[in-house]
């Protein structure tokens, strides 16, 4: 008989962790923010990139005031291929009072509608804005901003390939903090002559709650080791059960849904044949599941979309 599942069967709250654990604002972020502010006089438009799985949580809201000011501002929600498309209207409605221009993209897909429309939208906003000290400038300059690891560099590369028909101009990596400083101008098109500035990922210095921090960690905007992969995996299990997403049961070959993260991680490790050889208290060797490996596999499955199309902020829409 199939297991009858209800969110009421599982934890209603995640164990409290100190939100200082998920606060990560290294020195290069503070320096990067100052560099970005110094570049503003040469900027015509701001494109803020964020992860579509957390459209509300974790955005550095200070960007709107400390960086963009009165300049045209576009919010790009990247990795749209990883979310439930039926939630897009709710996301747009939730953000409509804050952002007039919201674009959903998948930077890995050159045929993505958002990737196709973003550059013309930026050009149109620049054309119809008061460029102040840059009113006589022949070129256009757009700054890409956002928290770490949301696809800023990937977006620049995708737009460069599409509009200039040239390859990657900036390094892309899965580790938060790859782009460490404001780079020199990267040409995006010849006609009109347009450049973009890639910038370091800047988190908000004050993460409002531990849960917001855990969502950021789940989406890899905070380095895993700072929070702990086991803790992040446990929060993922809590969130999946709480919101009725049980695809993990079949994907990991579990007998049933569970609230026990150790059970999940052990099952993953056993199935992958990843065991640790240890000595017990009698000095004999025993084999135990590699739980750290299991946590890595679980997080990777979520980040690749193997556990379903998920918006972690669905309760905020």
Kindly tell me the burial class for residue 150, based on how many C-beta atoms sit within 10 Å of its own C-beta (0-12, 13-18, 19 or more). Answer: buried
Q: Is 49 annotated as a binding residue?
A: no
Q: Categorize the per-residue pLDDT at 68 as very low, low, confident or very high, splitting at 50, 70 and 90.
A: low
Least confident of 62-71, 85-94, 190-199, 254-263: 62-71
Q: Once rounded to an integer, what is the mean pLDDT over residues 12-28?
A: 64
Same domain as 48, residue 122: yes
H helices present in 96-204, as ranges: 113-127, 152-164
Under a CB-based contact definition with an 8 Å cutoff, are residues 259 and 241 in contact? yes
Q: pTM of this prediction?
A: 0.88
What three-state secondary structure class fits 277?
strand
Least confident of 70-74, 87-91, 144-148, 182-186: 182-186
Of 157, 182, 197, the one marking the end of a domain is 197
Task: Give the pLDDT confidence score for residue 53 in this predicted structure.
Answer: 97
Q: What is the pLDDT of residues 181-201, one digit of tens each?
A: 555 678 888 888 999 988 887
Same domain as 165, residue 63: yes
Q: Is 151 annotated as a binding residue?
A: yes
Place of tokens 């101008």: 185
Q: Is 253 annotated as a binding residue?
A: no
N residues, the chain:
317
Higher pLDDT, 9 or 206: 9
CA angle 108, 113, 118 (to 5 degrees): 90
Neighbours of 178 (CB within 10 A): 16
Q: What is the pLDDT of residues 196-216, one digit of tens each?
A: 988 887 777 677 788 888 999
Least confident of 15-24, 160-169, 231-240: 15-24
225 pLDDT more than 90: no
Q: Is 230 annotated as a binding residue?
A: no
- 10 within domain boundaries: no
User: How many distinct structural domains can be found in the chain?
Assistant: 2
Domain residues for the domain of 249 are 228-316
Same domain as 164, residue 53: yes
Q: What is the pLDDT of residues 233-257, one digit of tens each?
A: 999 999 999 999 999 999 999 999 9
Q: What are the tokens at 138?
A: 């022949």
- 202 within domain boundaries: no
Buried/exposed code over 199-228 (b: 16+ C-beta within 10 A; e: otherwise): bbbbbbeebeebbbbbbbbbbbbbebeebe
Q: Is 173 annotated as a binding residue?
A: no
Q: Is 80 annotated as a binding residue?
A: yes
């Amino acid at each position: 008989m199939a297991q009858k599942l209800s969110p009421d069967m599982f934890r209603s709250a995640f164990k409290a962790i100190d939100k200082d654990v998920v606060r990560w604002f290294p020195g290069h972020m503070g320096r990067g923010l100052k560099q970005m502010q110094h570049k503003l006089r040469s900027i015509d438009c701001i494109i803020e990139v964020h992860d579509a799985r957390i459209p509300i949580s974790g955005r550095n809201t200070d960007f709107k005031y400390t960086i963009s000011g009165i300049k045209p501002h576009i919010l790009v929600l990247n990795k749209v291929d990883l979310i439930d498309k039926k939630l897009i209207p709710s996301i747009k409605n939730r953000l409509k009072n804050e952002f007039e221009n919201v674009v959903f993209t998948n930077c890995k897909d050159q045929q993505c509608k958002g990737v196709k429309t973003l550059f013309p939208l930026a050009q149109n906003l620049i054309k119809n804005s008061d460029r102040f000290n840059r009113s006589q400038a022949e070129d256009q300059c757009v700054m890409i901003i956002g928290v770490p690891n949301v696809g800023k560099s990937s977006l620049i590369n995708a737009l460069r390939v599409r509009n200039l028909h040239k390859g990657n101009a900036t390094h892309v990596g899965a580790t938060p903090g790859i782009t460490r400083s404001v780079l020199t101008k990267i040409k995006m098109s010849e006609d009109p002559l347009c450049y973009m500035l890639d910038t370091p990922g800047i988190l908000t210095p004050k993460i409002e709650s531990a849960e917001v921090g855990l969502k950021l960690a789940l989406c890899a905007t905070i380095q895993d080791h700072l929070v702990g992969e086991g803790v992040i995996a446990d929060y993922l299990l809590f969130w999946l059960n709480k919101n009725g997403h049980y695809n993990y049961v079949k994907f990991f070959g579990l007998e049933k849904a569970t609230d026990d993260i150790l059970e999940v991680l052990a099952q993953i490790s056993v199935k992958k044949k990843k065991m640790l050889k240890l000595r017990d208290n009698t000095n004999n060797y025993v084999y135990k599941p590699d739980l750290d490996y299991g946590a890595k596999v679980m997080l990777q499955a979520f980040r690749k979309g193997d556990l379903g199309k998920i918006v972690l902020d669905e309760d905020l829409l």
